[in-house]
Chains A and B, each alone.
Chain A
Amino acid sequence: MQLLNGLVSGAFYALLALGLALILSLTRIINLAHGSFLVVGAYIGYALSGLVGFYWSLLLAPLGLALLAVILEISIMRPLYRRDPLESLLLTFGLALALEEAVRILFGPVAVPFRIPEGLGSSLFPGTSLFFLTRYRILVLAIALMAGLGVYLLLRFTRLGLYLRAGAQDRETLNALGTDVRRLYTLAFALGAFLAGLAGVLAAGQLGLSPTMGTGLLMPSFVALILGGVGSLGGSYLGGLLVGMATGLAGNFLALASELAIYLILVLVLLLRPRGLFGQEGFFE
């Protein structure tokens, strides 16, 4: 069923959308460089996998990306928190351009294949109608699920998560209570980048690597964010999965329909339920 296949794409969208939502709800910044984060994460994974193998790079690449994101956040994003939101938006745009070009310089403009471990490529159910369910795809789903769960547990049951949720609701109060909100922002970026990097490495194994792999995944993630509802982290995650399934389903009928489905979803949401499925009223009027 194309639906399951779509779910795998949905996994990527969900991870990206969740990262975007984390950054957005805390820092109010629309991270246009998120797609580039994914690309950088993928290439770090590519570089690492030669050294430490696939599974380790799956853990270390996102961490490396998170570190990079923290450095970037502290150096260039901090000054902009008090300023016109357009400026942070433009900054992330400039960052997106620079990162993508940097990747192109370091690794070349041509698509590169990413070798996944033997055996992962083979199907779990050969000869049946579920033959396309390779072990790799199961892995993607499993990791996306674990990541989503991990973030949920972090937010729900840790002190850190409490601060993150509080900060997403009301930064002024949190500031007044003496918490260093800036560290929360850094954390939000780190976490968002980690998820993007994870998605990147996983996507590389599925689609191969190219400097432009980010854009194709970024747009659906934005739509997922809108679908889930701005302000709802769980909604963004779910939105990603739904967008994935919708595109998978649409792709069943016509190859091009899967991309059209994304635009259709966006238009429908904006016309029928602008707040998205779980969005809060007035969050981003």
Chain B
Amino acid sequence: MRTWILLLAVLLPLPWVLKALGSYAAIASYILIWGLAAMGLNLLMGYAGQVSFGHAAFLGLGAYGAGLTLKHILPSTLLAVTCGFLLAGIAAALLGLLITRLRGIYFATFTIAFSQFFYFIAFQWSDLTGGDDGLRGFARQPLHLPGFTLDLSSSEAYYYFVLPIFLVSSFLLWQLVQSPLGRSFLALRENMLRARFLSLKPERYLWIAFTISGAVVGIAGALLALQINFAQPSFFHWTTSGTLVMMAFLGGRWHFFGPLIGAALYVLLEELLSSYTQEWMLFIGILFILAVLFFPGGVAGLATKRRST
């Protein structure tokens, strides 16, 4: 409970804090968006114990789903987010069926493959997706609530649209990991053999974890597209998947909010480094290497040795 209040206290004034520090408001949204994506991935990685290098697929599907909804279906922001979420969730459910029997390198390769597969599709199916130029021609629409209309076009206003979605999604995730289902995921991570010998079918629970994590990343993807009113094939690239994994790892994959911390770190670092040098990716890469070598528990792991369950 305390954590949530603290979180709220930090997140509510975030755009203003950032601006005061010389940055800009949109960064706050990026932190929440990538944080949500990393937390979604971590349901699979930190809790269920399977690493996916393909979750960018769901980020992209969420993004393109939202964009295409706004372009071709209805100019409704809420619908766009919902469609992005559904598209990613259904894809996750279907892909999950294919891969839950796989382990180790087979699993890893397949995840990289489907990430690249969607990248390929986004690139080639240019009639629909805009190809290499990306999906354009849509913008987040004002929110029509009973009684009044909220204009979301400013970064600040959009942040206060993203924030409640983030809070609700992460709260639901929080409930999930405290539940029997969440503990079943832990069983998978800790000892798949024992889980099986307790009548818990690993394939089934992996599929559930995979689907939910994909759907959550999809929400983040939709929010991302609406942040920049643009979607591009690189959202699908396996290196984007890898970045998600790194965020969760950096922040601490054994702790619930670890990935959020990792995402915040990454976003802020990228912002900071890219203002100094064009070669910031080199430093990020080196940072990753150093983090893996010296801080495998992530930032949250530095604070507390105990894994959260």
Interface of A with B (CB < 8 Å)?
24, 30, 32, 76, 79-80, 83-84, 86-87, 89-91, 93-102, 104-105, 215, 219, 222-223, 225-226, 230, 256, 259-260, 262-263, 266-267, 270-271, 274, 284-285
Q: What are the 6 closest A-B residue pairs judged by CB atoms, nearest first?
A: A98-B285, A94-B288, A97-B285, A284-B104, A101-B282, A101-B281
Q: How far is the CA of A76 from the CA of B108 in the complex (A)?
A: 22
Interface of B with A (CB < 8 Å)?
45, 51, 53, 98-99, 101-106, 108-110, 112-114, 116-117, 120, 124, 238-239, 242, 245-246, 249, 279, 281-282, 284-289, 291-293, 296
Q: How far is the CA of A93 from the CA of B239 in the complex (A)?
A: 8
Q: Is the CB of A259 within 8 A of B281?
A: no
Q: What are 16 contact pairs spanning A and B, CB under 8 A?
A: A32-B53, A79-B293, A80-B293, A91-B288, A91-B293, A94-B292, A95-B285, A96-B285, A98-B282, A100-B281, A105-B279, A262-B113, A266-B113, A270-B98, A270-B102, A271-B98
Q: If A87-B292, A226-B109, A274-B106 touch, does A93 touch B242 (CB 8 Å cutoff)?
A: yes
CB proximity of A262 to chain B, nearest CB, Å: 8
Q: Is the CB of A97 within 8 A of B288?
A: yes
Task: Specify which of B117, B249, B289, B296 is in contact with A83 (CB 8 Å cutoff).
Answer: B296
The residue on B at minimum CB distance from A222 is: B109
Task: Specify which of A90, A98, A285 is in contact with B286 (CB 8 Å cutoff).
Answer: A98
Q: How far is the CA of A97 from the CA of B117 in the complex (A)?
A: 20
Q: How far is the CA of A166 from the CA of B82 in the complex (A)?
A: 54
Q: Is the CB of B116 within 8 A of A219?
A: yes
Q: How far is the CA of A99 from the CA of B279 in the complex (A)?
A: 12
Q: How far is the CA of A99 from the CA of B286 in the complex (A)?
A: 9
CB proximity of B119 to chain A, nearest CB, Å: 9
CB proximity of A210 to chain B, nearest CB, Å: 15
Q: How far is the CA of A172 from the CA of B114 in the complex (A)?
A: 35
Q: Is the CB of B245 within 8 A of A90?
A: yes
- Beyond contacts A101-B281, A215-B116, A263-B114: 4 other A-B pairs, Cβ-Cβ < 8 A, are A30-B105, A93-B288, A97-B285, A285-B103
Q: Is the CB of B113 within 8 A of A230?
A: no
Q: Is the CB of A87 within 8 A of B106?
A: no
Task: Specify which of A98, A105, A215, A225 is in contact with B109 (CB 8 Å cutoff).
Answer: A225
Q: How far is the CA of A158 from the CA of B109 in the complex (A)?
A: 32
**Residues in A whose Cβ lies below 8 Å from that of B99:** 270
CB proximity of A88 to chain B, nearest CB, Å: 8
Q: Is the CB of A105 within 8 A of B108?
A: no
The residue on B at minimum CB distance from A33 is: B285
Q: How far is the CA of A225 from the CA of B108 in the complex (A)?
A: 12
**Residues in A whose Cβ lies below 8 Å from that of B53:** 32, 93
Q: If A90-B292, A259-B120 touch, does A97 touch B239 (CB 8 Å cutoff)?
A: yes
Q: Is the CB of B109 within 8 A of A90?
A: no
Q: How far is the CA of A83 from the CA of B296 in the complex (A)?
A: 10
**Residues in A whose Cβ lies below 8 Å from that of B112:** 219, 222
Q: Is the CB of A24 within 8 A of B293?
A: no
Q: If A79-B293, A259-B120, A267-B98 touch, does A94 touch B105 (CB 8 Å cutoff)?
A: no
**Residues in B whose Cβ lies below 8 Å from that of A230:** 104-106
Task: Specify which of B106, B108, B284 is in contact with A89 (CB 8 Å cutoff).
Answer: B108
**Residues in A whose Cβ lies below 8 Å from that of B114:** 263
Q: Is the CB of B279 within 8 A of A274?
A: no
Q: How far is the CA of A160 from the CA of B125 in the complex (A)?
A: 50
Q: How far is the CA of A86 from the CA of B101 in the complex (A)?
A: 19
CB proximity of B249 to chain A, nearest CB, Å: 6
Q: Is the CB of A93 within 8 A of B110?
A: no
**Residues in B whose Cβ lies below 8 Å from that of A91:** 288-289, 292-293
Q: How far is the CA of A196 from the CA of B124 in the complex (A)?
A: 28
Q: Is the CB of A94 within 8 A of B98?
A: no
Q: How far is the CA of A252 from the CA of B61 in the complex (A)?
A: 30
Q: Is the CB of B104 within 8 A of A94?
A: no
CB proximity of A278 to chain B, nearest CB, Å: 15
The residue on B at minimum CB distance from A221 is: B109
CB proximity of A43 to chain B, nearest CB, Å: 15
CB proximity of B169 to chain A, nearest CB, Å: 25
**Residues in B whose Cβ lies below 8 Å from that of A100:** 281
Task: Specify which of B120, B238, B246 is in contact with A94 (CB 8 Å cutoff).
Answer: B246
